[in-house]
Structure 1
Amino acid sequence: MKIAIFGTRGIPNHYGGFEQFAEYFSVFLAEKGHEVVVYNSHNHPYQEQHFKGVQIVHCYDPEYRIGTAGQFIYDLNCILDMRKRNFDIILQLGYTSSSIWHFLLPKKAMIITNMDGLEWKRTKYSKSVQQVLLYAEKLAVKSSDYLISDSIGIQKYLQTKYQKPSEYIAYGAHLFEQPDETVLSKYDLEAYNYHMILARLEPENSIEIILDGVAKSSDEQPVLVIGNHNTAFGNYLKTKYKDCSKIRFIGAVYDINQLNNLRYFSNLYFHGHTVGGTNPSLLEAMASKALIVAHNNEFNAAILKENAFYFTSAEDVNKILIETKKSDNLQKIANNFEAIANEFNWEIINGKYAHFFEECFSKGVNGKTEL
């Protein structure tokens, strides 16, 4: 098959979850003998035309000049290029800035869309922007031949709201099996004597709830907050907790080896995401043998099951901090690690995607509905 992948900043990954998936899956497809094109931003750090057997097409992306609006132009440029090529399948990763151009997608190609999370529920957006995103979601659902959900919760949501089925295929992670305690010296930490939060500093990631619990707790272990804090919400949090010395805002960390070691040697790892989908950082925490304390919602519970502690309030966080030690919960950690090995590893996830593509290709283009 001739397959296009778009909706990311490009490969190899220099940004986030969808980019990581696009890198792994495109290389997997190329190794299986498929012809694969991945669309990259024109200013992506990788400027070659091929990557491990995958063809790279760079398209002009003005986001660096004009902000978020540039994403719409970038997606448009990718789609216009697709019209010049004879793709069998186009994999659309997300929809927020691409679905408005659905009418320009090649008619003969099969459109398969990974619907990501419930973007319109993100509280960082104004009500008007949330309405636009909800409309974009509807356009993506209606204009795609087949849908993919990376969580059971999203799958149920799409079936209930749009009466459209989707294939559940989760995200993946690599097992982390070579811990190196020397990494901790950079952060002045002792093994198993600190907690951590790794997330974008946004309201829907429960950062404030977690830190409220930390601030009121008698537990004195330091808490690392990893993520870009030079934002409006980040500045608000830094101001609110400026007198709580055990809370350390250390900024973004992109070195995967450092992140894996920080997760591995932490006592508690807080995962506060609330808005849909299987979050990549959650699977990476499981793969790094972290003891996870997660926000209690259906998306997190579907992945972690009974192998985590759950919170909904600052009081819950405080109680967990006081009562919970990693060394007392090794079975939960082992169960999560085994789940990565048997269910969420990249080889299995890539295989499920490839099998779904083959099934869809045999059925043909038949999933679109009237807009």
Structure 2
Amino acid sequence: MKIAIIGSRGYPYVYSGYETLVKELSERLVARGVEVTVYCHKALFSERPPKINGVKLVYLPSIETKILSQFIHSFLSIIHACFTDVDVIFAVNSANGPFGVITKLFRKKTAINVDGMEWLRPKWKGLGSRYFYFASWLATKLYDQIINDSEEMRKTYLELFKKGSVVIAYGANVRKSEKPGLIEKWGLTPNDYYLVVGRLIPDNNADLIVEGFHKTNSKRTLVIVGDVPYKDEYSLKIKAMADRDNRLLFTGYVTNQNELAELYHNAFAYFHGHEFGGTNPTMLKAMAYGSCILALDTRFNKEMLQGDKYGLFFTKDSNSIAALILDIEDAPDKALLMKETSEKGITAKYTWDHVANQYLEVFNRLCPQRKK
């Protein structure tokens, strides 16, 4: 069987949840005898080998702008893939919904991972929001198989678009702390800081978490890992908060995965403010790396944390965050217990091998004559 994957920045470039999915899935499909081609953003790769770890790579250009880059690259990738002999085109991101018209014309079998409710994200105001809603609706009409990453998101698509979908979560690899000394580069010591990981965008609510933390007299540091690859008013506003609270530490991107893992392992608690979407890879890492998780109260986060079994919740209010910080600092033994048990939340459905098996089942159903 031959699979083409479009819609990410490429392989093995890991920047977000989509790239992590593409990397982990591609390698496992190749190991199962599937021929996988990943379409990559040419501008992001100074070296462009035709194959890495058995994964075939195609590098195509785009117009490198914040809004159009991925859209144009996906369009060119779909066109290219349709002129090849691939059996299934697998797209990530519901923005690629309209391109299903092209695959229909070429009679290619398709599947799409539609991700979260992009149309609700503050960064896509006005026309952008309307486009994502329209594209998501089109995806349900034009693609052969819709894939959602959580049961709650499946319900959302069923309610809004009257379309059923297969639920396949993201995965995570359980990992123990190996080199706690790696956090010393930021002047940190174990259990002496809170951690936030994610892009500095409004729907991740880093500003709310900072405001809540600012209202406390905690002696710990709040470490914010992440940034955005462009300058905007929101990210600059958050970074400026460090000027009025010396307990804030902005690391920017942390690309060394061992360093990032140790930041998770050694944090007193991890804050998860992500508001829209289903299964979140950042939350999965927090569980897999043994974090005490303090999460925004959403139905998606509660699904991942199995209610309050593996996390504590705050509402979208800085006072709620401040109160939770005070509670957890008054009960450090509770935080320690949560750190010791959180990895148990990585059940079978959140393992990459299980995720790969589910995707392979989908592809086999779409092309039974090429079944692997």
Q: TM-score range by the shorter chain?
A: over 0.9
Does structure 1 residue 44 correspond to structure 2 residue 47? Answer: no
Q: Of 324, 332, 337, which aligns to 1:320?
A: 324
Determine if contact 1:263/1:289 at 8 Å carries over to the other structure.
Answer: yes
Partner of 1:249: 250
Render the CA deviation track for 1:7-66: whole Å, top value 9, x for unaligned: 111101232211111111112111111222111112232511111112111112222xx4
Mapped to 2, the partners of 1:327 and 1:256 lie a distance apart of 28
Question: How far off its partner does 1:329 sit?
Answer: 3.6
Shift of 1:4: 0.9
> Do 2:82 and 2:108's aligned partners in 1 also have CA atoms closer than 8 Å?
no
Q: What code does the residue aligned with 1:8 have?
A: S
Cα shift readout 1:215-246 (whole Å, capped 9, x = no counterpart):
11121211011111653211112334521111
How far the C-alpha of 1:250 sits from its partner, in A, is 2.1
Deviates more, 1:258-267 or 1:230-239: 230-239
Quote the residue 2:134 is aligned against.
135
Are the counterparts in 2 of residues 169 and 353 from structure 1 also a CA contact under 8 Å? yes
Aligned identity (percent) is 27
Match of 1:336 in 2: 342
User: In structure 2, how many angstroms separate the alpha carbons of the residues matched to 1:126 and 1:308?
Assistant: 32
Which residue number in structure 2 is paired with residue 369 of structure 1?
A: none
User: Which aligned pairs between 1:252-291 and structure 2 lie closer than 5 A?
Assistant: 252-291=253-292
Corresponding residue number in structure 2 for 1:368:
none
Asked if the contact 2:292–2:342 (Cα under 8 Å) also holds between the matched residues in 1, the reply is no
TM-score (norm 2): 0.92
Cα RMSD over matched residues?
A: 1.9
1:25 corresponding residue in structure 2: 25
**Could you report, residue by residue, the CA deviation over 1:191-237 in whole angstroms, capped at 9, with x for unpaired residues?**
10111111111111121221111111121211011111653211112
- Paired with 2:190 and 2:175, the residues of 1 have a C-alpha distance of 16
Deviations 1:97-121, CA, capped at 9 Å, x for gaps: x333322225322110101111111
Q: Is contact 1:206–1:295 with CA below 8 Å preserved after alignment?
A: no
Measured in 2, the distance between the counterparts of 1:228 and 1:43 equals 20
Deviation at 1:331, TM superposition (A): 4.2
| Structure 2 CA distance for aligned equivalents of residues 94 and 160 of structure 1 | 19
CA separation in 2, counterparts of 1:13 and 1:193? 32
Q: Which residue of 1 aligns with 2:216?
A: 217
**1:176 corresponds to:** 175
Structure 2's unaligned 5+ residue stretches are none
| TM-score, normalised by the number of residues in structure 1 | 0.92
Q: Is it true that 1:14 corresponds to 2:14 in the alignment?
A: yes
Q: Which residue identity lines up with residue 308 of structure 1 in the other structure? A: G
SS of the residue aligned with 1:343? Answer: helix
After superposition, what is the alpha-carbon deviation per residue over 1:244-297, rounded to whole angstroms, capped at 9, x for unaligned? Answer: 111122212111111110111000100000011211111011111010100000
1:165 Cα offset (Å): 0.8
SS, match of residue 44 in structure 2? coil
* Cα deviation, residue 330, structure 1: 4.2
- Alignment-derived partner of residue 98 in structure 2: 100
Aligned to 1:145: 144
Deviations 1:92-146 (A, max 9, x none): 11132x3333222253221101011111110122222211111111111211111
Q: Within 2, Cα distance between the matches of 1:232 and 1:85? A: 43
Q: Equivalent residue for 1:367?
A: none
- Contact map agreement 1:82 1:105 (CA 8 A) in 2: no
Whether the 8 Å CA contact 2:171–2:281 is kept in 1: the answer is yes
Q: Aligned AA for 2:343?
A: F
Q: Is 2:293 the partner of 1:292?
A: yes
- CA–CA separation in structure 2 for the residues paired with 1:203 and 1:218: 25
Distance 1:109 1:253, change over 3 A: same
Q: Distance in 2 between matches of 1:260 and 1:71?
A: 28
Contact 2:37 2:56 in 1 (8 A): yes
Partners of 2:242 and 2:28 in 1: CA distance: 45
2:128 is aligned with what amino acid? Answer: V
Q: By how many angstroms is 1:363 displaced?
A: 9.9
Count of matched residue pairs: 361
Within the candidate set 348, 358, 362, 1:356 is matched to 362
